[in-house]
Structure 1
Amino acid sequence: MDNAKELISKKIDELRDRLVEATQEIVRVKSVLGPAEPGKPFGEGPAKAIETALKISEELGFKTKNVDNYVGYAEYGEGKEMVGVLGHLDVVPEGDGWTYPPYGAEIHDDRIYGRGTIDDKGPTMAALFGLKAIKELGLPISKRVRILFGSNEESGSNEIEYYLEHDEAPTIGFTPDANFTVIYAEKGITLFDVVMRFDKKPTSGIKIVKITGGEVKNMVPRLARAVLHVDDESLKKSVIEAVEDYRKEKNVDLSCEDNGDGLTIVSTGVAAHGATPEQGKNAIMQLFMFLDTLDLGDTDVKKFIHFFAENVGMETNGKKFGVYLKDETGELTFNIGTVSVDENEGRLGLNIRYPVTYTYDDFIKPFNKKLEGTGIVIENMVAQNPLYFPKDHPLIQTLSKVYHEVTGNEPVLLAIGGGTYAKEMKNMVAFGPNFPGQPELDHQTDEYIAIDHLVQLAKIYGSAIYELAK
């Protein structure tokens, strides 16, 4: 470790108690998304968190600015170029079952407990104190450094668009809101619906009244249900027998309940994140595969079910659909996360993530071609481009070098299917705060950050800021 990093490390040790106090202070603010108020676009809590972070920053001697309670920042240094560290102060709701008060920031066993301690208030304070060490030491830097306090990351990162319209974008930087060492690649992400209007409807036999399932597009659904109206008892009996035969033959979790004039078929799968659908079992598609074996007549709902049973099935990589892509960062992932079918319409919610060296057009053109002539259309498309830095990019190399020098651990570069806060600003990557093998405590009950971990982060981030800004 060079002299500057040793000095930063020693200075952080001196600042340890104040760092802990500042982290406790910001964690005590319940910064969950709330109803918008005048001057508080994301509610009282996130605005209070920005105010608190700026107060701490001013006490540390930094120039500060509140960008209309969308984003706040602390700034140090001079120069045309700017190093940015993008952290967020908003948190997800605390939920139930906490051992210690979720906004108490109590210390037990040298850990600070509370919502946001690891995601992302603690790491953001660590970056702020890393910059404080540089300031106190008077280390020479040639760029400005801005610690940015976001307030809407957990609910869409809508604050960043506003900030970029009203203030300056960093030249280069990182977000302390993921994993170490460096995430150099993040897949492109799409969320959208595929919809078919039903004109040709059943007149007799088995009628699908409704199909429901899944909660969000970016999760593999665990449950799906189909409610069927069946004309007579013999037909009903044959459907019940078909469910049982299919369950045994395919070894799937299907059940059937007689509800009087019809049947309810329940499909149970295994939940997983939309970024890794191969780790789950899709209850919606499991149900569609069974329904496709029934005689639903020459109807639009049959065509809708058959199309997806045939062209998706239980696949999670888009091969049958004709949209398969693969590069060094992995395969395209194809997840059907939600379903809503009634007598008038069929709607599926999709989350497709494509490898980073490809473009949106590489995926959407063959997707649209597959839909030609089916009557199925795309609605509500939300698309996020991939993030990709070559492994030899100076930003990746600098952060990897700092990580190795401060921790002594070999850097491991990561490519992921998920999306991080880094995608919200150009020339940024995700850098920590979770070390390899650490439990993932984000959004969990009893979220905490160990004080030694917090201090280590300040040393890493202080050294990273210095290397980028010197």
Structure 2
Amino acid sequence: MRLEERITDLKEDIIKSTQEIIRIKSVKAEPDGDMPFGKGVNDCLNYALSLCESFGFKTKNVDNYAGYGEIGEGSEMIGILVHLDVVPEGDNWTYPPYEAKIHDDKIYGRGTIDDKGPAISAIYAMKAIKDSGIPLNKRIRIIFGTDEESGWEGINYYLEREEVPTMAFTPDADFPAIHGEKGILMFDLVKKINRECRVTKIKGGNRPNMVPDYAEAHVKDLDLNLVYEYGKNNNIKIDAGKEGDTTIVKFYGVSAHGSLPESGDNAISKLMVFLDTLDMNDEVGQFINFYKDKIGMEYYGQSIGCGFEDKESGKLIFNVGVIDFSDDEIKVSVNVRYPVTYEKDAIYDGMKSVTNTYDIDIVETDYMAPIYMPKDHALIERLMKVYREETGDNREPITIGGGTYARSMENAVAFGPLFPGQVELAHQKDEYIGIDHLMKMTVIYTKALAELLK
């Protein structure tokens, strides 16, 4: 039986499994007994392992930090690196984020594209290979990470204890094959506040790698009419209300992945630009002015001293994801994706040339070095061969700002699931995967595995 025909036969099962795994809310939570990332993530891992077991794969749960399903024999191992955790769902979904409802041949839900839908696709690609009778002279192992969105503790736990694949791809980015990923910095901009100020609280965002869709500020002696007039004049959705002499101002935006801030609308930045119009001269007002002048609505870090770019991977990306001010400290959490030919010290040095003037500290919270693989690398060439044959698209391999599990080991790259021109909905409300898209990428992953088995 041809591989495409086998995938077609499995269509209803692929859809059903995708819906079932989406219905498990697997946002990282506090440890719960032997579940390091909470019950939801643990339930999702057990679901994936059970599905693999039902297909006759060899499986292992790695202490609830990770797991894998495996087929085949031999010393060489082809890895498929997926993750089962998802970012928080946010607000204002058209369809419930954990019901996996189908509308217009699209499955809606958190994780449909990032990364549960691709994980199910890869499991069924392995099943199709297993059922096809193709000689399995290498092993194929799908590795389930559980903490990709907030620290990689799960995949790192796996790598410290289990066998590392000979080669691998991760379906957690874009097609065609990705031969470079920008470096990632996460840090806090921290300003100590020593005096009582007119703004008493600012809060917004969920995580540094998400464009925030909500932010609020508590401001003393602020006329509500001024707030609404600003919103009307600038075509911005704002809510406001009074609590005694304090006005609570609420700004709304559009969530998006932190590597693509231009796809969203940053509620924190819009709020800070508004607050700067109040001309406050106290310590918080000075920080707000710094934010407006040196960050503002920019995506590329040019005003804060790190607007770098290279021909290999393009411009640096600068995303403010979280702000938290109460009591005596303002903390702004930032996610930066920097070009593959730069070192991280150049990024920090550029920013410090600006922030030192304002007595603002930069505190690093996470770092991933960039990765880069030549376009003529054997793994890239073989994945590109399958992609071109299946799509008729002869474009070249690409580089991205996103950070995938390809960084976690040697000889690994990202490959799909988004096709060129498709809207990036990871980390956004109304995330979905089209059923035709799900089936097409399953065919590509099946044929990619067949190619890598040769």
Q: Give the TM bin, normalised by the shorter chain.
A: 0.7 to 0.9
Q: Equivalents in 2 of 1:81, 1:420: separation in Å? A: 22
Where does the alignment leave 5 or more consecutive residues of structure 2 unmatched? Answer: none
Query: Within the alignment, does 1:366 sit opposite 2:350 as a pair?
Result: yes
What is the Cα deviation at residue 314 of structure 1? 4.4
Farther-moved stretch of structure 1 (30-39 vs 256-265): 256-265
Q: Is the alpha carbon distance of 1:141 and 1:315 closer, same or farther for their aligned partners in structure 2, counting shifts above 3 Å?
A: same
Match of residue 399 from structure 1 = 383
Does the residue aligned with 1:321 lie in a helix, a strand or coil?
A: coil
SS state at 1:9 partner = helix
- Aligned partner of 2:277 in structure 1 is 290
Q: Of residues 172, 194, 219 in structure 2, which corresponds to 1:227?
A: 219
Aligned twin of 1:233: none
Give the deviation of 1:82 after TM superposition: 1.9
The reply on whether 1:428 has 2:434 as its aligned counterpart is no
Given that residues 220 and 335 in structure 1 are in contact (C-alpha distance below 8 angstroms), is that contact kept between their aligned partners in structure 2?
no
* RMSD (Å), alpha carbons: 4.2
Unaligned runs of 5+ in 1: 1-5, 230-235
CA distance, structure 1, for counterparts of residue 231 and residue 374 of structure 2: 47
**Is residue 210 from structure 1 mapped to residue 200 from structure 2 by the alignment?**
yes
Q: Deviation per CA, 1:231-272, whole angstroms, max 9, x where unpaired?
A: xxxxx99xx99x999999x96869998969967485857546
Cα distance in structure 2, aligned partners of 1:258 and 1:26: 40
Inter-partner Cα distance in structure 2 for 1:38 and 1:446:
31
**Which position in structure 1 is the counterpart of 2:361?**
377
Deviation at 1:340, TM superposition (A): 4.1
Q: Is the 8 A contact 1:441 1:448 kept in 2?
A: no
- Cα separation, 2, equivalents of 1:17 and 1:254: 42
Secondary structure of 2:198 counterpart: strand
Report deviation, 1:136: 3.5
Separation (CA, whole Å) in 1 of partners of 2:239 and 2:423: 39
Deviation at 1:165, TM superposition (A): 1.4
Matches within 5 A, 1:279-428: 280=265, 282-287=269-274, 289-291=276-278, 293-294=279-280, 296=281, 300-301=283-284, 303-328=286-311, 329-341=313-325, 344-372=328-356, 374-379=358-363, 381-411=365-395, 413-428=397-412
Larger radius of gyration: 1
Aligned residue for 2:332, secondary structure, equals strand
Deviations 1:300-350 (A, max 9, x none): 445544544444444443333322211132222334444444573333333
- Deviations 1:366-423 (CA, angstroms, capped at 9, x unpaired): 2234344643212352223333333333322221210111233334644333333434
> How big is the shift at 1:85?
0.5
Partner of 1:78: 73
Structure-2 separation of matches of 1:106 and 1:246: 38
> What residue number does 1:194 align with?
189
- Alignment of structure 1 residues 105-144 onto 2, 5 Å: 116-140=111-135, 142-144=137-139
**TM (normalized to structure 2)?**
0.79
Amino acid at match of 1:400: M
Q: 2:64 is paired with a residue of what secondary structure?
A: coil
Identity of aligned residues (%): 42
Q: CA deviation at 1:160?
A: 0.8
Tell me the SS of whatever aligns to 2:165: coil
TM-score by length of 1: 0.77
Contact 1:221 1:338 in 2 (8 A): no
Between the aligned partners of 2:69 and 2:357, the Cα distance in structure 1 is 55
Q: Is the 1:220–1:337 Cα contact (8 Å) retained in structure 2?
A: yes
Aligned residues: 445
